[in-house]
């Protein structure tokens, strides 16, 4: 893994060659389009490192890219590999100027220009170019998996976040999440600035964010913990989803967002509160001046509680259980 990581950090991935049968093209730094020479029916984006310090998925994607370059991983569909935020990856930081995963869908135009606003724009352009190239011989199905790791501990080790969208995703997509070993699937109910919301909303991609455990320094993760998702991705690239030996993930949906607007914001949760911790109906979750955030008539489960986010950003999501 060490020499793969060094190639990524020192911009040497561009020197990797791919076997006959795969046409490789760099659409930007860390953005690699792979098109099979044989016709395809599916176009998938696999991304990691949108948050620079979420390392395990970066290693996983590096390994997969290397396997493709060595001819060990076959490919029967159009694929875009994205290493999201290389300056942040090099600095081992979540981001340098702005949280990249809040800037998609044009939201990068509303912040002071910086590393992430430029990158969000470049990634939006690349996604558009890729899906257009993938449709060259007629429209194909679109997918996007954006891989992250959670900052804090969680009652579930691995879970998926679906962007808000009308209707439901296909059973095949849920099967992919099940085969990937996801313990839970959370559905957003409002638009957001995430990479997967962008690909879902603008390009009707079956898209989701995967949260794959906690991160160690780049190059030091134990990838055996991610064997299920690694296996599922490997099968996805050859169009084989007919497996699901893991139990079906539990389903949740977002019912309210806790937002920090000012220094008065108080989150009434212990610092180490785990993701998916339940709260009883009527519990006071947070307050800010006159605003009180209270659990509704059913128990709610917290996701990503964080009282120290920048003003205007999400300090936590509250979920209800669907299954």
Enumerate binding residues for Zn ion (CB under 5 A).
51, 54, 148
Residue 47 burial (CB count, 10 A): 27
User: What's the per-residue H, E or C state across 190-251?
Assistant: CCCCCHHHHHHHHHCCEEEEEEECCCCCCCCCCHHHHHHHHHHHHHHCCCCCCCCCCCCCEE
User: For residues 91 and 244, which CB has a smaller minimum distance to Zn ion in the complex?
Assistant: 91
- The answer to whether residues 244 and 123 touch, using CB atoms and an 8 Å cutoff, is no
User: For residues 213 and 249, which CB has a smaller minimum distance to Zn ion in the complex?
Assistant: 213
Task: Find the shortest distance in angstroms from Cβ 130 to Zn ion.
Answer: 22
Catalytic residue among 59, 116, 211, 300: 211
User: For residues 102 and 142, which CB has a smaller minimum distance to Zn ion in the complex?
Assistant: 102
CA–CA distance, 84 with 277 (Å, rounded to integer)? 30
Task: Find the shortest distance in angstroms from Cβ 208 to Zn ion.
Answer: 13
Q: Which residue's CB comes closest to Zn ion?
A: 148
User: Residue 5: enclosing H or E segment and its boundaries?
Assistant: helix 2-9
Instruction: Please confirm, yes or no, whether 29 is among the known catalytic residues.
Output: no
- Start-to-end C-alpha separation, the chain: 39
Task: Find the shortest distance in angstroms from Cβ 148 to Zn ion.
Answer: 3
CA–CA distance, 176 with 235 (Å, rounded to integer)? 10
User: For residues 116 and 288, which CB has a smaller minimum distance to Zn ion in the complex?
Assistant: 116
Catalytic residue numbers read 211
């Amino acid at each position: 893994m060490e020499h793969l990581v060094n190639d990524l950090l020192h911009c040497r991935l561009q020197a990797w060659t791919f076997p006959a049968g795969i046409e490789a093209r760099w659409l930007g730094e860390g953005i690699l389009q792979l098109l099979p020479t044989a016709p395809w029916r599916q176009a998938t984006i696999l991304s990691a490192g949108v948050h620079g310090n979420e390392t395990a998925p970066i290693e996983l994607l590096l390994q997969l890219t290397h396997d493709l370059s060595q001819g060990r991983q076959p490919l029967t569909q159009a694929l875009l590999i994205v290493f999201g935020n290389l300056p942040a990856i090099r600095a081992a930081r979540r981001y340098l100027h702005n949280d990249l995963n809040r800037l998609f869908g044009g939201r990068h135009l509303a912040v002071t220009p910086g590393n992430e606003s430029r990158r969000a724009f470049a990634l939006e352009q690349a996604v558009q170019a890729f899906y257009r190239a993938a449709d060259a011989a007629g429209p194909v199905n679109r997918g996007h998996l954006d891989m992250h790791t959670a900052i804090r501990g969680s009652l579930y080790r691995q879970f998926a976040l679906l962007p808000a969208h009308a209707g439901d995703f296909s059973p095949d997509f849920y099967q992919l999440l099940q085969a990937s070993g996801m313990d839970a699937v959370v559905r957003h109910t409002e638009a957001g600035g995430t990479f997967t919301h962008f690909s879902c909303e603008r390009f009707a991609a079956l898209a989701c964010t995967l949260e794959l455990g906690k991160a160690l320094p780049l190059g030091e993760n134990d990838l055996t913990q991610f064997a299920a998702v690694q296996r599922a991705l490997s099968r996805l690239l050859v169009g084989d989803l007919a497996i699901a030996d893991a139990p079906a993930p539990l389903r949740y949906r977002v019912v309210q967002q806790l937002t920090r607007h000012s220094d008065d914001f108080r989150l009434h949760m212990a610092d180490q509160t785990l993701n998916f911790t339940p709260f009883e109906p009527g519990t006071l979750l947070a307050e800010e001046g006159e605003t009180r955030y209270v659990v509704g008539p059913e128990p709610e489960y917290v996701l990503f509680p964080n009282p120290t986010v920048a003003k205007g950003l999400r300090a936590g999501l509250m979920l209800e259980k669907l299954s």
